[in-house]
């Protein structure tokens, strides 16, 4: 955009000040430009303003995914209802995001599930006495793309 302005209107020089002051008569703006007529324009609150913080929607992607996952997993495995509801949600979110990472990397859904199953089995072998979480990888694989990577097929 600045190229377009500098080519069509007047030559403009844009300065984003660091710790140096360019000229003593220029104001101490964080970000400013000097036109060819030596006019200083303050850009601190417009062009050089930091981006507005991202406002999380009331229902975040994680909470929507978890609600769908719990509903689906409990309907498939009603005897595991209490176990599924008590486990830390981060586990299922981690596996869902890993599904999308694998798909984005070019792996098939089956390859991702095979790798995740191998990871769970390896963890069980390394720490056999650790109370392993119950994870429905099929449901996670089914839901993850919808919530975390809808653009990946």
Domains: count for the chain: 2
Write out the residue range of the structural domain in which residue 130 sits.
61-148
Q: Based on the fold, state whether residues 79 and 112 are members of the same structural domain.
A: yes
Q: What are phi and psi of 136, to 5 degrees?
A: -95, 90
User: Measured between alpha carbons, how far is 117 from 113 in angstroms, rounded to an integer?
Assistant: 6
User: Measured between alpha carbons, how far is 14 from 41 in angstroms, rounded to an integer?
Assistant: 9
Q: What are phi and psi of 60, to 5 degrees?
A: -70, 165
Query: Quick one: average pLDDT of 65-72?
Result: 95
Query: Quick one: average pLDDT of 33-54?
Result: 70
Tell me whether residue 118 is in a domain: yes
Query: Quick one: average pLDDT of 91-106?
Result: 92
Tell me whether residue 14 is in a domain: yes
Among 29-38, 101-110, 143-152, the minimum mean pLDDT is found in: 29-38
Q: Based on the fold, state whether residues 30 and 102 are members of the same structural domain.
A: no
Evaluate the CA torsion angle 124, 117, 112, 137 in order and state its sign.
Answer: negative
């Amino acid at each position: 955009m600045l190229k377009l302005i500098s080519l069509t209107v007047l030559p403009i020089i844009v300065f984003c000040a660091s710790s140096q002051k360019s000229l003593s008569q220029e104001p101490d703006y964080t970000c400013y430009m000097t036109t060819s007529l030596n006019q200083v324009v303050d850009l601190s609150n417009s062009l050089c303003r930091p981006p507005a913080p991202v406002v999380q929607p009331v229902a975040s992607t994680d909470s929507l995914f978890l609600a769908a996952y719990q509903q689906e997993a409990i309907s498939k495995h009603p005897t595991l209802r209490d176990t599924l509801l008590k486990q830390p949600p981060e586990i299922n979110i981690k596996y869902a995001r890993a599904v999308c990472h694998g798909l984005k990397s070019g792996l098939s859904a089956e390859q991702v599930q095979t790798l995740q199953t191998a990871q769970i089995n390896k963890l069980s072998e390394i720490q056999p006495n650790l109370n392993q979480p119950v994870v429905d990888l099929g449901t996670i694989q089914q839901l993850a793309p919808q919530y975390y990577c809808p653009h990946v097929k």
